[in-house]
Amino acid sequence: MGPVSGTVTRGTSPQRAARRRLTVFRVVVLGLVGLFFVVPLVSMLDFSTRSFRTGGRTGAAWAKLVTDPQLSGAIVTSLVLAVLTVVLMVVLLVPTMIWVRLRVPWAARPLEFLCLLPLTVPPLVIVVGLKNVVLWLNYLFGDTPYVLALLYVVLVLPYAYRALDAGLSAIDVTTLAEAARSLGAGWATVIVRVVVPNLTTALLSAAFISIALVLGEFTFASLLNYDTLQVAINLQAKSDAQESIAASLASILFAAVLLVVLSVVSGGRRRRSASASARTTAVTTGTPAPTTPAQA
């Protein structure tokens, strides 16, 4: 049980050598790849703080993030869109998944297929075919960029489904529901007051992934002519490269902080819950917690 590792019994020399080789391999691979990933981020920081005229450092580009009305307007739009998408996703997906698990088990497979379908249909294709749907949305809701939230939920579905599915598998939904129902709870109470509070980490995970996705989404917004963060960054690059790079780095750092916080929080919870409950699957199988961001 557990991953392939060099944690074989100590003592014998060839095994020690093998372990050393493994350690060297790990250090080299992680170091090189880590470098590949960190260098562009550091370059973004360097580029955005470089002062072309004086050759020193300046925080002017970063200051413009809050002062430039176009960019700050787009930031607000994107953040609101992210929140709206998360709310819509929770309202749409969580009751459906719980309901399927409890009442309509034969629909679990089709549901999974449908939720993972957006992975097969590229967003570019979806947006190409969305013309009439967007016209209807504009007709019904007026002309606001927030109708994008309805479209973003489709993009977010696969990842959110995965996170929530993992969370639902980890708790004993049927027993909880059975207990609540036998105490006289209605289905709404079962879903909202009994099951959902047990899903907090999974919900957080799904929420954070959705936020990261919405903040980074460009295809829909640009081809449907809405002004979100990524579109504004792309536009800004034509006139002020440093400001747009500062904005890019800020959005990436924001998403990264969210997800690292989530992993810390979920790690802490897992340790607490693992010691409290009789289940030890996580520890013995050594799998990552189901609530860490899966394929974000």
Query: Least distance to other proteins from the beta carbon of 66, Å?
Result: 19
Show the site string, 81-120: x = touches other proteins by CB under 8 A, - = not. Answer: -----------xx-xx--xxxxxxxxxxx-xxxx-xxxxx
Residue 48 makes CB contacts below 8 A (sequence gap 6+) with 61, 62, 242, 243, 245, 246, 249
In the list 16, 20, 29, 66, the residue contacting other proteins (rule: CB under 8 A) is 29
Show the site string, 127-166: x = touches other proteins by CB under 8 A, - = not. Answer: xxxxxxxxxx-xxx-xx------xx-xx---x---xx-xx
Residues touching other proteins: how many (CB under 8 A)?
A: 141
* Residue 275 interacting with other proteins (CB under 8 A): no
What is the three-class DSSP state of 143? coil
Query: Least distance to other proteins from the beta carbon of 51, Å?
Result: 12
Query: Least distance to other proteins from the beta carbon of 277, Å?
Result: 12
Alpha-carbon span 294 to 196, nearest angstrom:
20
CB-wise, 30 or 76, nearer to other proteins? Answer: 30
Q: Pick out residues in 205-264 that bind other proteins (CB under 8 A).
A: 209, 212-213, 216-219, 222-225, 227, 230, 233-235, 237-241, 244-245, 248-249, 251-252, 255-256, 259-260, 262-264
* Residue 183 interacting with other proteins (CB under 8 A): no
DSSP line for 4-19? --S-SPS--HHHHHHH
Query: Least distance to other proteins from the beta carbon of 253, Å?
Result: 10
Cβ count within 10 A of residue 30: 10
Query: How wide is the angle at C-alpha 50 spanned by C-alphas 48 and 52, nearest 5°?
Result: 120
Alpha-carbon span 156 to 92, nearest angstrom:
12
* Residue 186 interacting with other proteins (CB under 8 A): no
**Residue 119: which H helix or E strand, with range?**
helix 108-120
* Residue 123 interacting with other proteins (CB under 8 A): yes
CB-wise, 83 or 282, nearer to other proteins? Answer: 282
Closest CA to 220 of 153, 162, 294: 153
Closest CA to 161 of 217, 102, 114, 99: 114
